[in-house]
Amino acid sequence: MPLTKLQFRPGINRETTSYSNEGGWFDMDKVRFRFGFAEKIGGWVKSTSTFFLGTCRALHPWVSLVGDRYLGVGTNLKYYINEGGQYNDITPIRLISGAGDATFATGADTIDGAITATDISILLDSVSGFPVSGRIKIGSEEMTYAAISTKTLIGIVRGVNGTTAASHADGVAITCATVSVTENANGVLVDDFVTFTDAATLGGTITAAVLNQEYQVTAIVSANVFQIEARTVSSIASITTTNGLNPTFVFSNASDSGDGGSATVATYQINTGIDTTISGNGWGAGTWGRGTWGSGADLSASGQTLRIWSHDNFGENLLINVRDAGIYYWSKAGGLVPAVSLDSLAGQLSAPTIAKKILVSDRDRHVIAFGCDSQSSPGTQDPLLIRFSSQESLVDWAPTPTNTAGDLRLGSGSEIITAIETRQQVLVFTDVSLHAMQFLGPPFIFGINTVAENITIAGPLAAIAVEDNVFWMGAEEFYVYGGAVQRLPCTVRDYVFSDMNKDQLQKITASTNTAFSEIWWFYPSAASAENDRYVIYNYQQQIWYYGTLSRTAWLDRGVESLPIAAAPDHVLYNHELGLDDDSTTPPTAIASFIESSQMDIGEGDQFVFLRRVIPDLTFRSSTAITPTASMTFKVRNFPGGAYLETNSKNVVKTATLPVEQFTDQLHIRLRGRSFAFRIDSTDTGVAWRLGSPRVEIQPDGGR
């Protein structure tokens, strides 16, 4: 019998049924198309062995005048400069207290009576529906438990003052290691960072060395009192792990009765941000303990909105901005020290103090602030105002007849969402419109015009520029601008938008992988609070495909030779490197597959026999000694029927066949009205690329 070549249209189509998409692909994961043929995507390897704190949503590379390579890493807790694989904390300072303004206290545990080996204060039963780990707060007491099994309590109980060590009936230690810090109007939030210097010993185990280091706030007692957990002397970087901080606690004793002395200085970093978008106000909004117990959430307050950074270079120096908060400047000449507020620089004139985004216009060397405060009302944010500094100046923002500083205000929309620079202009997105901002030169400096209305954008990170085109994800559409706004025809539109967490749209991040002509959008599925899926538009082939991968930020190759991406495990990964997943030790296989839609003969009115397969699969670049993939053929009799393992007569309805480098042919015996084809790879060290396999099909004639 003659062989039939299996040729499929590149890309995935989920806008129709599988049966009506004959000749196309219907499902896939971690597979891309190159020159129209499917292949497994490249692997990823840890960029560095060290970790950062928080969830990273911003990456920015640059090179200094002497060739030093830097990478800016913005998380919800910190801002780092990565140099040579090390994370250097340059998070701006919010407040430095006066000497002696901050005092410490420890004391007796405030739990009603000491915990003894026979006390059972709280009984957790995993069968009753408690999560396997979490935090419980009762009154002013807080307990964090790491794991539970039936009727077992494991965790740390923190008292408002002092520390007590005890054990549960099952022998699991329950300990306290809390120090209360008092300073009027300190403005801290839970998870904020503060560094103490010049503190004296409390008299016992809480020594001066223990106190004089950087801490993360664990609880807020009142407007003037917060708590930290005393730990052995160690830097934040040294105790940062894939699970956050992992310190060794120091327990106080009866001799710890001092207050730290009259010379203690507390240096507070800017308030940390949250890593999950909050919807609504009132009780229950916000992360646990970000205010005092029982307080409602003020979503306009610092620390209550998803932490998103924007950043750009001014020469070899760096400008950074917390969305809807301050603008800061880091100078290479000053070393790897905290960035300073832009309005604190010497000679500054009316510099903005709050913005939604900043960038440096490469063409004309203006610093531009979007959604910022005005010169006449510093500190009061205007979400539609755009201001720009004088040309080649960081500090001169006051318009005069002799400089090029100025401002513009958009006339449509309620707020600026983001701005994207292209070769010729800056595109400014509001929640309902798109505007083009162009450099005109004196006397007008910049002009702006509306290029589209009634458009949407999913979030501040959902747009990306590729040459002179800008691609972005909207609320229910994909768009491209290349002189005019067009909606991109999308064959996976319903698949993507029908299974998306609409409360976390701000996390959607657009990125490019120009080596393969791809635009990637990472987004959270409906069941996830964090990005766990991606959808790709290949602008060269004009096709769509998708898969599962958890990435919160992505940086295309450029300064670095490979794409770099941030993951929720506090690690940066080099992508398109190797063949496996290096997030585990040892690396694990990347499970990739692609599956076709159903195929039949003629009008589908005949049954067919599948007898033989001639594979067309290359394993070039594989590192496995015997690289293997699986080809699966499965049949069914009706479009709505299931692919069954066997039929009523126990005849096999699915055949999964191992394919190796030199497999010449495979014999199968399947019968059905239609069939689908699938290829899987679940082994390490395997790279595969599919060609055009042949299959021997014999019409059966049955109906």
Q: Which residue has the tokens 């791809």?
A: 518
DSSP string covering 267-287: EEEPPP-BSS---S-BTT-SS
Structure tokens at 626: 């015997």
- 652 pLDDT exceeds 90? no
Q: Is it the case that residue 128 has pLDDT exceeding 80?
A: no
pLDDT of 302: 43
Residue 311 vs residues 51, 58, 126, 518: alpha-carbon distances, Å: 21, 8, 45, 24
Cis peptide bond prior to 2, omega within 30° of 0: no
CA angle 82–87–89, rounded 5-degree value: 105
pLDDT band, residue 602 (cuts 50/70/90): low
> Residue 160 — very low, low, confident or very high, per pLDDT cuts 50/70/90?
very low
- Residue 627, pLDDT > 70, answer yes
Average pLDDT over the chain reads: 85
State the sign of the Cα–Cα–Cα–Cα dihedral 631, 637, 638, 644. negative
Across 168-211, the runs of DSSP E, i.e. the strands, are 173-175, 178-182, 193-197
Cβ–Cβ < 8 Å for 333, 400 = no
Q: What is the pLDDT of residues 673-693, one digit of tens each?
A: 888 899 999 999 999 999 999
Q: Evaluate whether 415 touches 428 at the Cβ level (below 8 Å).
A: no
Pairing of strands 485-487, 478-481: antiparallel
Instruction: Place 110 in a pLDDT band, splitting at 50, 70 and 90.
Output: very low
Contact 86, 73 (CB under 8 A): no
pLDDT of residue 39: 97
Q: What share of the chain is helix, strand, coil (3-state, %, to 5)?
A: 5, 40, 55
Taking a C-beta distance cutoff of 8 angstroms, is the pair 75, 244 a contact?
no
* Range from 64-68, 159-163, 531-535, 648-652 that averages highest in pLDDT: 531-535
Q: Which residue has the tokens 């060609």?
A: 691
pLDDT at 432 over 80: yes
Lowest average pLDDT, out of 3-17, 149-163, 313-327, goes to: 149-163
Assign 639 a pLDDT band (cuts: 50, 70, 90). confident
Q: What is the 3-state secondary structure (H, E, C) of 562-618?
A: CCEEEECCCEEEEECCCCEECCCCCCEECCEEEEECCECCCCCCCCEEEEEEECCEE
Q: What is the mean pLDDT of residues 157-165?
A: 34
Q: Could you give phi then psi for residue 89, rounded to 5 degrees?
A: -80, 115
Which pLDDT value is given to residue 155? 35
Q: What is the pLDDT of residue 28?
A: 97
Residue-wise pLDDT tens digits, 493-550: 999 999 999 999 999 999 999 999 999 999 999 999 999 999 999 999 999 999 999 9
Query: Which residue from 98, 106, 110 is spatially nearest to 202, judged by alpha carbons?
Result: 106
Average of per-residue pLDDT across 6-21 = 92
At 554, which helix (H) or strand (E)? strand 553-555
Closest of 172, 142, 144 to residue 159, by C-alpha:
142
Asked whether the CA dihedral 163, 291, 273, 197 is positive or negative, the reply is negative
Using CA atoms, how far apart are residues 154 and 548, in angstroms rounded to an integer? 34
Residue 258: CB atoms within 10 A of its CB come to: 18
What residues contact residue 336 under an 8 Å CB cut-off, 6+ apart? 81, 83, 88, 90
pLDDT category at 305 given cuts 50, 70, 90 is confident
Task: Give residue 143's pLDDT.
Answer: 56
Sign of CA dihedral 34, 500, 567, 83: positive
- Owner of token pair 């400008």: 319
Query: Residue 83 pLDDT more than 70?
Result: yes
Q: Is the pLDDT of residue 697 over 80?
A: yes
Rounded to whole angstroms, the Cα distance separating 363 from 331 reads 22
Q: Express as a percent the part of the chain with pLDDT over 90.
A: 67
- Quote the pLDDT of residue 289: 41
What integer pLDDT is reported at residue 702 of this predicted model?
Answer: 53
Cβ neighbours around 445 below 10 Å, total? 20
DSSP state of 493: H
Instruction: Give yes or no for residue 122 having a pLDDT over 80.
Output: no
Higher local confidence (pLDDT), 477 or 159: 477
Q: Cβ atoms within 10 A of the Cβ of 451, count?
A: 17
304 — pLDDT class (breaks 50, 70, 90): low
CATH number for the domain whose boundaries are 3-38+591-699: 2.60.120
* CA–CA separation, 439 and 430 (whole Å): 20
Residue 564 confidence (pLDDT) above 60: yes
State the DSSP H helix or E strand holding residue 147, giving kind and residue range, or none if neither.
none
Higher pLDDT, 652 or 209: 209
680 or 604, which is more confident: 680
Of the candidates 48, 54, 174, which has an alpha carbon nearest to the alpha carbon of residue 122?
174
pLDDT at residue 133 above 80?
Answer: no
Question: Which residues, in sequence order, are CB contacts of 583 under 8 Å at separation 6+?
Answer: 44, 46, 567, 569, 571, 573
Lowest mean pLDDT among 16-25, 36-45, 445-454: 16-25
pLDDT digits (tens, 9 = 90+) for 362-419: 889 999 999 999 999 999 999 999 999 999 999 999 999 999 999 999 999 999 999 9
Q: Give the CB-side neighbour count of residue 423, counting CA atoms within 13 A.
A: 6
Which has the closest alpha carbon to 309: 57, 674, 602? Answer: 57
Number of Cβ within a 10 Å radius of residue 469 = 15
Burial of 35-73, coded b for 16+ CB within 10 Å and e otherwise, reads eebbbbbbbbbbbbebbbbbbbbbbbbbeeeeeeebbbb
Q: What is the mean pLDDT of residues 53-78?
A: 96
Whole-model pTM: value is 0.88
Q: Encode pLDDT of 175-220 as tens digits.
A: 446 888 998 888 999 999 999 999 999 999 999 999 999 999 998 9
Which of 303-312, 587-596, 597-606, 631-640 shows the lowest per-residue confidence on average (mean pLDDT)? 597-606
How sure is the predictor about 1, in pLDDT bands with cuts at 50, 70 and 90? Answer: low
What is the mean predicted confidence (pLDDT) over 325-329? Answer: 97
Domain spans of the chain?
A: 3-38+591-699, 96-269, 345-455
Residue 108 main-chain phi, psi, to 5 deg: -70, 150
Burial label for 333, CB within 10 Å (0-12, 13-18, 19+), is exposed
- On the question of pLDDT at 123 being above 60, the answer is no
Q: Which two tokens stand for residue 245?
A: 């901080």
Q: Quick one: average pLDDT of 561-586?
A: 96
